[in-house]
Structure 1
Amino acid sequence: MNKTEREEIRRLTADFRQWSHRAEEVQNWHRAVQDAASNDERSLQARSVMVGRAGQAAWQVLALRASDAGVVGRLWARATLPVPTSGEQALLRVLATDIPRLIAEVAPALGMRRFFTGAERKHAAEQAGMLLRRHHEAVLRGHGPRRLERLGAFTASVDPRRLGFPALLDPALRFGLVSGHRGPAPELLDRSVISGLPEALDAITKVVAGEAAYRSAAQAAGEKVRRAEVQRVLQEMPTEALKTATRDRLRLGALTEAGISTVQEVLSHGRSLQALPGVGETSARRMLGAAQALWQTTYEEMPVRIDINRRRPETTELLRRLADWDACRQTRGAAADLERAAELAPLRAALGSETTHLLVVPIRQLAVAGLTESIQTVKRRAELLGMSSASGRTSVGADPWEDFLARPADYFAMLAELGFVTEDENAVHGDLPEEIIQAVRDQALNGEHLTASLRGYQSFAARFALVQRKVIIGDEMGLGKTVEAIAVLAHLKSRGKTHFLVICPAAVVTNWMREVSHKSKLKVCRVHGPERDRAARTWMRDGGVAVTTYETLAWWEPALGELRDLACVVVDEAHYIKNPQAQRTRRTRRLVTRADRAILLTGTPLENKVDEFRNLASYVRPDLTVDATDLSPRTFRRQIAPAYLRRNQEDVLTELPELIEVEEWLPLSAADSSRYRGAVERGNFMEMRQAAMLQGAQSTKLQRLIEIVREAEENERRVIVFSHFREVLSLVARSLPGPVFGPLTGSVPAAQRQQMVDQFSAARHGAVLVAQIVAGGVGLNIQSASVVVICEPQLKPTTEAQAIARAHRMGQVQSVQVHRLLTEDSVDERITELLAGKKRIFNDFARVSDMADSSPEAVDLSEAELVRAVVAAERQRLFERGSAAQSDAAD
């Protein structure tokens, strides 16, 4: 390399050093702008809160302060950074990597070291010099210096100081909370929307604290009704019951001579009995002890009845007190406005005096208007509570019976919560051996994280699962297996456990989400659908109840294998895994084996599926020996008893016939969604209401309807299917298994209608009557059916009530199950919101009441079983008398 060449290389090197320095400045500037914006982004995202709706995250909300204005400028700076072209990226890469290496390689040939450099290094320096020339020519030819200057300058003409919070909604700003969002548009709300919200939420909290007094008043009123009813029963109970209860140890002649003929009269005389001729102190003590024992047992087993044919003053007062208590409950618990208040609690914590705006990003298909509606609802409720507090609580009116008749389910639910409904304790135990029953009785159930009131049999099932660790709960459909499982999870949460998993069919994921949210304080995650990755990571990190499907489990099982502490697995609709060869069975079984506890839920009766139940039993208790040669239900129940609990409605709901109403929220299938979207686009309201049913086998609603009918057949029940639409009825009639009668529509003559009903009533179990709700819902008595399915919500509550009344009426010997098939994220939600004033669903109708200890005087005189037999006989006699009297009056 000669002198001229060396001078040339020195000039090229100087140019490259200048360009490289400029490239480094550009990259550092870009990095600094991006880092500042990213830090701001992370800070704001950390401050954002999730506001839910119906147990699921609905909106991500960020409370913005005036001091956040600078963030917009920094995000704007990032958004307006010049974006390098592919050629500019190549230029930066060459200047950052290739050029420094070539300069280092050519250096030995430029200074005094060239005289001491070997031939090989000189050759390498010459090669490097040649490459520097080529790169230099390429940079100049590609206008490299000008490109470096472009990359180092802002490209936007907007002054960042003039930008405001609305700029956060601009996709070009690439703000993390908004960028890439799909669904309803994010919105920016100003301070006026949230003005007064913190005060409203605080006011509601204060009012809720005052509910205890109203509950106590209702409790006291219920006690008066119960005691009055006990007194009436004992007033009808002859003194012979005392003799029977003491196994003929008492002589009652002195009582007869004194004109004392009933147990209540014995109690009324009290200790003065010993003053009667022929009655000594010992005899009086024994008579009174036996009478007190009968009173105690009658009291403990006496439900509080609301008899519309005998409107006694104490019952009227109870209804009034219940209405007062319910007025408080309207702002908490099951009331819609309290649900909204609870959902807004995270937002309350995020608001401050400096808050000027809310940035709201919908997480699901709920527009921002839904959040503003919730805020206005809560503020309005607080305002009404303030007015009520200032003017005094309003009465339900002169006749509270009208309110009771308008919504009896609400009143019975409150009575159950207060413990005023009894049930057969022995039936609660199913076929369990005595040692397990005793262990379950001794098991405590912590309700700290449970918000629902449990019936006695439900509490027993939860404690059974805790004691036996891995079990099958096979209660008949409608008894509340879901809340039994939730009670177990809530108890385990109070014991420090964190991770719970529910595996269920996709059609009931929404129901599980709602049930966990509404009946417990447990955090719930939907690991299913488009958000499953994020939900799975959140659950793995934070814990709670993860609700997933059998299909999703195939995707998720490898990650679940990394979780060490899986406290409990709940497998819903466990008949899905009765085939041990199926892949979903194998996946589920592995999790059941690995979990500390497991609960398999199924409403299928044991007698009908012995082989499949044997499989289920082996999953939870492989140590059980089940004799395959003796398939009698009694033998099988005895063998499987340590792991299996089943109760029928008739066994545990002593107040039958009961009306059990279930809202079944189902997702739209792909085919349903397509048809529904088309109906929406055409603005066809009636077609929108039918869309979720008309896709045949692809319809989620129809799939669920078929499941209900099959389970009804296994439970020896008949079904009525109601719909407003003839096309739906025709499709249902073609699609259902078993004998189907109908469609019974308005065009069917009256005589033919009754003939159709008679044929249906005479048919075998599992038979289905398909009827148009405006036709079959009026004027027919269909007591032979005990399952009612309403395919879509009706526009008038009275329409559904009349249809249900066809089966739920005098003469019905079974409890009536009502299934409302509802589609989430559809017109069904809107209709049900508009009809929010209709009767709320209640399943919490009965609650166990353990028999209290007898008085000390009666301990030696009777046995609990004998006392109960006497009371049962008297209650049956009085019931028959009342029935006969009513029959005579009717004649």
Structure 2
Amino acid sequence: MNKTEREQVRRLVADFTQWGQQAAYVQGWHRAVQDAASSSERDLRSRSVDITRAGQAAWRVIPLEMRDADVVRYLWERATLPATTADDHALLRLLIEDVPRAIADVGPSLSLRRFFAGSAKKQSADAAGEFLRHQHAAIIGGGGPRRLEQLGVVTAPVDPARLGFEALLDPDLLFDLVSRRTGSEPEVVDRTVVEGLSEALAVIDKVVASEALYRSAARDAGEKVRRAEVQRILREMPVEALKTATRDRLRVGALSQAGIRTVQEVLNQRWSLQMLPGVGETSAWRMLGAAQTLWQTTYDEMPVRIDINSRLPETTHLLRCLADWDASRQTRGASGDLERAAELAPLRTAVRDETSHLLVIPTRMLAAAGFLESIQIVKRRAELLGGSFASGPNSVGADPWDDFLARPADYFAMLSELGFITEDENKVHGDLPEEIIKAVRDQALSGEHLTASLRGYQSFAARFALVQRKVIIGDEMGLGKTVEAIAVLAHLRSRGEAHFLVVCPAAVVTNWVREVSSKSKLRAHRVHGPDRDRAARTWVRDGGVAVTTYETLAWWEPALKELRDLACIVVDEAHYIKNPQARRTIRTNQLIARSERAILLTGTPLENKVDEFRNLASYVRSDLAVDATELSPRTFRRQIAPAYLRRNQEDVLTELPELIEIEEWLPMSSADTAHYRAAVERGNFMEMRQAAMLQGSKSEKGQRLIEIVREARENERRVIVFSYFRDVLSLVVRSLPGQVFGPLTGSVPASKRQQIVDQFSSAKHGAVLVSQIMAGGVGLNIQSASVVVICEPQLKPTTEAQAIARAHRMGQVQSVQVHRLLSEDSVDQRIIELLAGKKQLFNDFARVSDMADSTPEAVDLSEADLAREVVAAERRRLAERASVET
């Protein structure tokens, strides 16, 4: 290497030294920024809190402090670092690793040491020089110096002081928790949104803990009742029953000889059994094992019963504990709010005094607004609770049985909540497909505006209505369809909706107003009667629940068309609109179409023809309209399942007392017979139906009715007497002894009907309520009565079922006796025979049934057709009898 070459290499080394310093700076700077950003991400991730909803992560919340401004800066610096390519990495590696080695190799040739270097050293120096010359030219040719300058300067310089926490939302920042999210848009919110949350959670915890003490006491009292009942049963179970509980051969004769007669006595003598003559240690253990098996089996199958005819001390104690728990339950109806509180509980320790902001990152398709709404719900619930129960619950008085008899349904709801009354989960779902059941289970139900306790099946119905939006709830009469609908309205109110409408028969307007007021915090407006104008204006202005009638809709229709925010319409006794051509159907259906949601309530969706049921379904889901002509019941129910939920009393009200139905076949007196024959000759069907009662107390039916009323008074029961005919009711009122209320007929104003029912319910035992079956058999709750008398068979099985359900319904604590007064060899017998098909039709299509094939038209029969058939049959029968007698 000559002098000129050495000078050239020295210039190259000077350039490479400068470039190497630049490369080392770039690499160090990039690495420091990346490390600081990654460390910041790890720190934020470690402080994050997962907020769940329905068991799944819904939001990730990161508390932010002022010191986290540096975190934002680090992330921003990383985001604004010049992007490096593979060529950039190769350049940096060359200048930082390869070039320094070449400079070290070429060094000896540039100093006096070259005179003492061997040939190998000189060859290595020459190669290094050549390498430097080649790489220098390549770097210069590729714009390396300019690229080094670019790699050492941020791409978007900004004043760090101007970077706020909102920068974390910038996707260019590449904050991994934000950039890799799978939910909705994240938000940064001020800490003021959680101000007071910790205190609110503390209030709720304190209230829940206080309630838990009363709940625990009620549960313990229920267990005592349950165990006492098991003990009573085992005290009456003979020792021979031990043989049924084990495969071992037991010889129980030794027990009988020792005076041990029952299974409970075996348990009482458990430690001394093997001491008995003829009983060894092995036999004693087998006997005791069998007795314990019988105890456990009996216990597992034993519900907690409340028998008003056997007021045992442990049952009285249970009622008092339930009353105390109920009085202490400020969180009743707030299960949804309590769920929100449990979800937010992790924030109590995560949010500190230094916290200034919260970064809310949705992890599912739930907006950050849902998280903020949960906070407001919890704060509002804490305000409503207002603290713990320093003074304890209010007493129910000296005798808790009085409170129980005044509101038995509430007590049964509490027993159900404690698990003492169980429900079959499959039967709670009715005939719904699995995908709808899953959606209903996932639906939350807010209880913020609800004050009633819901049974499990009632909560399911309310959530079904929320999920499916427009539905028919066809629960059997007496299951509480009213409170199911009110629960839906209360939930919607908690979501900001304001205007709800109930359309019902006039007879139940008063009952609806009462139920809305007593079971929710919603305001009820009676848009019916003389004050309807004022009530309608107030409802439009303030919102709430407007309760009106099918007839009043004609007056109100123009104003309702102007209302734009009808959140939900409830149509009670929806079978009133089964005829699509009727004016009231058209008016109601227009409101259903305009409303966001609709709930049609009816225990009898099908009275005569399957087409009527199909009409109701088409009002809420026009896409479900089906041709039922050749349709099997199973297929029909499957097709309307998205809009129809039906549960029966025996499926979900396991505590409901027995329903005893008695057909009282009676001969006709001579006067009854003469009147009946004359009606047949005239072909007067309606007169034929009531002929056996028109002689009053002289008729056989009349005399039997008086006997039933006397027996009821002796047994401390109240009686309802139903007939279709007003003349019959008038005769009954004049003939019966004691307190008689009514007759309750269609001409009695709706408010007066409820007043009559209230007076009857508070009257002494033996009181009688006389009612036209079409007026008192719909909507009214008369569970104070436990004896029902139907004076003549009705032309629709559903009419009788509705009437019976006025007494045999949730809250009834006595067995219900139903007496059907029937005349032998008369129109009564013909009607019962012809209506058997109608009843089967309802069971097949409207009620869950395993029947798979039926032809609806085979049993569809109009009332006019039925009348003609019966009159003709009776004329033939009487003519044949007269011929035989002659």
Higher gyration radius (CA): 2
TM-score, with structure 2 as normaliser: 0.41
